[in-house]
Amino acid sequence: MSDADALTIPPAVAMLLDTSAARLTERFTASFSPETVRECLDDSYLVLAATARVHTHLYVLAERFAAERLAATAKATRLAVSDVPEVLFVCVHNAGRSQMAAALLAHHAAGRVVVRSAGSAPAGSVNPAVVAALAEAGLDIAQEFPKPLTDEAVRASDVVITMGCGDACPIYPGKRYLNWDLDDPAGADLDFARALRGDIDARVRALLAELLDRP
């Protein structure tokens, strides 16, 4: 039994999730039934509750995570059709490298690419040195949180970029898999995070040019 399987949703939280479920049901009404939306939302809450260090307002994060999962599922199962390329960054903890890459690509892409990040063993919070290094570049990820790697996220992606998670990512035909050899910033200082930011920024710019078929 996993940690999430052993948890239950407190009644007070369930009432808050009712409101979240209503919003998500309206957003995804063309693709999913209210029952499917609620199942995904409840599961998202329990998964995050098993890993998050801070449980205050966890239902808010659960709604965001469930929205990502539902959108990915819709794309993967062709319930939603889009020509926008999708990229998934995966590292072990989803606290440093993958968060930084996702933030930088989303910034440069400006809506032209759907960007996600996840971890094979997500940490409880995002690395503060990474948050600070990105803040220096004008990118605010203070509200981001480590998310577990899900099958639907991989299936929905056109490009999957790993950063040290080994073979934790499921392999599907038709996906482009890349591995970026980047040092883990866990426990590192701001200077290290700055250097990592520069390395990743160059990589995501090159990737974006490929995705958009630009010279």
Q: Are 77 and 108 in contact (CB under 8 A)?
A: no
- The H-or-E segment that residue 103 falls in is helix 97-109
Q: 0.85 cut: is pTM over it?
A: yes
> Do 146 and 87 share a structural domain?
yes
Query: What is the average per-residue pLDDT within 70-87?
Result: 89
> Do 91 and 69 share a structural domain?
no
> Do 89 and 65 share a structural domain?
no
> Do 118 and 25 share a structural domain?
no
The pLDDT value given to residue 55:
67
The answer to whether the Cα torsion of 120, 126, 132, 134 is positive or negative is: positive
**Residue where a domain stops, chosen among 62, 80, 98:** 80
The pLDDT value given to residue 215:
45
> Do 187 and 125 share a structural domain?
yes
> Do 64 and 139 share a structural domain?
no
Question: Which domain range does residue 144 map to?
Answer: 82-215
Residue 162 confidence (pLDDT) above 80: yes
The partner residues of 90 in beta bridges, in order of sequence, read 118, 162
Question: In whole angstroms, how far apart are CA 211 and each of 110, 145, 206?
Answer: 13, 26, 9
Give the β-pairing of 176-179 and 114-119: unpaired
Instruction: Tell me the pLDDT tens digit for each residue of 2-53.
Output: 555 568 899 999 999 999 999 999 999 999 999 999 999 999 999 998 876 6
> Do 127 and 170 share a structural domain?
yes
- Chain centroid offset of residue 49 CA: 16
> Do 147 and 95 share a structural domain?
yes
Q: Which residue has the tokens 């499917």?
A: 36
140: CATH: 3.40.50.2300
Query: What is the average per-residue pLDDT within 89-104?
Result: 96
Separation between Cα atoms, residue 93 and residue 120, nearest integer Å: 7
When divided into structural domains, the chain yields a total of: 2
**Residue where a domain stops, chosen among 80, 100, 132:** 80
